[in-house]
Chains A and B, each alone.
Chain A
Amino acid sequence: MSPPVVQLRGVGKRYGPLHVLRDVDLELGAGELVAVVGPSGSGKSTLLNLMGTLDRPSSGEVLLDGVGAGRLGDPALAALRAGWIGFVFQSFHLLDGLDAVGNVATGLLYSGLPGRERRRRAADLLRDLGLGDRLGHPPSALSGGERQRVAIARAVLARPALLLADEPTGNLDSAAGADVLALLTALRAEGTTVVVITHDREVAATMPRRVELRDGRVVADVAAGQR
């Protein structure tokens, strides 16, 4: 049996005296779609950053595809982020100096592919996402929903095994939010493991699995059928 895509073993995170995460055990298999919910400050973003190797746990272990991230050096971690992990940030983090295609193409910037090929794939993906007529627009000329779709396109351009999305629907109205969720669900169908942080109970309710955090602890981890 292949190892879980993400496995957290007794993971804790402290900032000084503040315990942001305590003793988190979690396993995510290939192709899972998981919602992470919990009140503000409960440690959701921290958890996502640990899964994405953007941060290191204070205790415990994060295993990615069966390999302990703590044992990997900076180049190996960077390689994981370049190809195996995709991030979608709540605040988009799009670059204003680049148009939509350029922004999406940065998803393959560290892949070793030539720039022309990166742009070609980025343009294809944007067309698939219904943004074919926005290719040359800078982020400032896009709507919130369009920006979020561009940010997701950038995250999935390298076809990562793990997609980590921090409140991807947070800034969107329900129609645009539904578009984004449909997109994430479609990715899951291709075998990508998707983790989505959300405040939105309705959104969480549509997800097959729901992990709930409170004060840094996992207080519920339920599959849709169990509700």
Chain B
Amino acid sequence: MSRLAARDLVGLAGSGLRRHPLRAVLSALGIAIGVAAVVAVLGVSRSAQAELAAQLDALGTNLLRVQAGSGIGLGDAVLPASADAAASRVAPVTAVSAVADVDATVRRNELVDAAETGGIAVKAAREDLLGVLGGHVASGRFLDGALGRYPTVVLGHIAALRLGVGPGVTVWLGDQRFLVVGVLDPLPLAADLDRSALVGWEVAQARLGLSGEPTTLYLRAAPSQVGAVRDVLPAQVNPEHPENVAVSRPSDALAAQLAAEDAFTGLLLGLGAVALLVGGVGVANVMVMGVLERRGEIGLHRALGATRAHVRRQFLAEAVLLSALGGAAGVGAGAAITAAYAVTRGVAAVVPVEAVTGGLAVALVVGALAGLVPAVRAARLSPVQALRTAG
């Protein structure tokens, strides 16, 4: 029996590669780039998605927004005054808050034209709005029972940036001075409020002519019942004209963003696959050259007792080792790219296990395929032929 131990096989493959290190590195580069592309694409998109998913998770997907439907013949875009009370009577609804548009503008000082909105809407908000939205104040505080009656205002984060003010500063709402008591963090589930100045409900009624009908309700429902609640809300909120009520789920937009990431990922993965293919051709090329150059060595090994299968395995192992090294380098590079992305974006790096194992597996398969034809050709050589040509 002529035998070749696995260890010796790997040793032979390694010594084959060491003979032309530069050539080996260059041909493994294609594989490395391909695998790096796959790992980095999956890692970066997965890190971004993980961030998005974590955000969704923190914000909750059980928030519903109720607005008056707008359109021809639907009248003013307001809900009945009893809308929030009616909504809270739906059993799975756990919390309801409301916002109402106020017909006023907010200005840094009285020198600014009162008709100038600056893109900032003034809205009256219930005190529990922030809790229902899952939002946070960046500085200062939110409206509460005590402040709600006084001329105080809380600014969404874009509104605060545009006005260039923070807590403790007074701004003008219409022709009255309001004290800024807080600035909010961004509200991903209610982005329109980022551009708003929020005042207390009572103050708005007393000083800014608010009639009392809410424009928008925000409510939380039991997570398993969100769909059912969504269906019954229009009739609950406006029994006479349920068609005037529009219910939406703000988290849907984020969820859609999560799904959209996949299409882009597919495209980049395709590019990675092309790089892998090119890498495979490079490996095949190097192996074909290796077989031609090493005919004498092949003949010698046959004379030393190698079977055809041993010779075939030696060249296959060399191709697979070459692409495995390329693949490992690619995984490292891909993980490094993902980590760099995560650091710059301030998110947690996620290198998916399936990207690493998949990348390596693909590298191995590419190597095996690339090595197959050269290996079979090497094994077909008759010992005398091989020895004769080598002189």
Residues of B with C-beta under 8 A to A82: 2, 304-305
Q: Are the CB atoms of B387 and A110 closer together than 8 Å?
A: no
Q: Are the CB atoms of B8 and A109 closer together than 8 Å?
A: yes
> What 1/0 flags go to B352-391 for Cβ under 8 Å of A?
0000000000000000000000000000001110010011
Complex Cα distance, B303 from A80, in Å, reads 10
> What 1/0 flags go to A46-72 for Cβ under 8 Å of B?
000100101100000000000000000
Question: Is residue A75 contacting chain B, with contact meaning CB distance below 8 A?
Answer: yes
> Which of B174-182, B201-209, B252-260, B306-314 touches A?
B306-314
Q: Are the CB atoms of B304 and A110 closer together than 8 Å?
A: yes
Q: B-side interface residues toward A, CB under 8 Å?
A: 1-5, 7-8, 11, 15, 18-19, 296-297, 299-310, 382-384, 387, 390-391
Pick from A83, A106, A110, A115: contact of B310, CB under 8 Å: A110
B361 to chain A, nearest CB (A): 29
Complex Cα distance, B2 from A27, in Å, reads 26
Question: Which parts of A100-136 form the interface with B (CB within 8 Å)?
Answer: 106-107, 109-112, 114-115
Given contacts A78-B302, A110-B306, A112-B3, contact A91 B15 (CB under 8 A): no
Kindly report which residue of chain B lies nearest to residue A77, judged by CB atoms.
B307
Q: Are the CB atoms of B304 and A106 closer together than 8 Å?
A: yes
Q: Are the CB atoms of A81 and B1 closer together than 8 Å?
A: no
Question: Is residue A225 contacting chain B, with contact meaning CB distance below 8 A?
Answer: no
Q: Are the CB atoms of B305 and A93 closer together than 8 Å?
A: no
Question: Is residue A189 contacting chain B, with contact meaning CB distance below 8 A?
Answer: no
Question: Is residue A97 contacting chain B, with contact meaning CB distance below 8 A?
Answer: yes
Pick from B2, B296, B384: contact of A81, CB under 8 Å: B2
Kindly report which residue of chain B lies nearest to residue A79, judged by CB atoms.
B2
Residues of B with C-beta under 8 A to A79: 1-2, 305
Q: A-side interface residues toward B, CB under 8 Å?
A: 49, 52, 54-55, 74-75, 78-83, 87, 89, 91, 93, 95, 97-98, 106-107, 109-112, 114-115, 154
Complex Cα distance, B384 from A7, in Å, reads 20
Residues of B with C-beta under 8 A to A80: 305
Residues of B with C-beta under 8 A to A75: 1-2, 307, 309
Q: Are the CB atoms of A55 and B307 closer together than 8 Å?
A: no
Residues of A with C-beta under 8 A to B304: 81-82, 106-107, 109-110, 154
Residues of A with C-beta under 8 A to B15: 97-98
Residues of A with C-beta under 8 A to B18: 97
Pick from B4, B7, B299, B383: contact of A110, CB under 8 Å: B4
Complex Cα distance, B189 from A28, in Å, reads 95
Q: Are the CB atoms of A93 and B2 closer together than 8 Å?
A: no
Kindly report which residue of chain A lies nearest to residue B391, judged by CB atoms.
A91
Kindly report which residue of chain A lies nearest to residue B379, judged by CB atoms.
A74
A176 to chain B, nearest CB (A): 21
Q: Are the CB atoms of A74 and B305 closer together than 8 Å?
A: no
Residues of B with C-beta under 8 A to A87: 303
Residues of A with C-beta under 8 A to B296: 93
B383 to chain A, nearest CB (A): 4
Q: Are the CB atoms of B387 and A89 closer together than 8 Å?
A: yes
Kindly report which residue of chain A lies nearest to residue B308, judged by CB atoms.
A74
Closest 8 CB pairs of A and B: A82-B305, A110-B305, A82-B2, A112-B3, A78-B307, A54-B383, A110-B2, A78-B2
Pick from B4, B297, B308: contact of A109, CB under 8 Å: B4
Max chain B Cβ within 10 angstroms of own Cβ: one of A75, A80, A109? A109
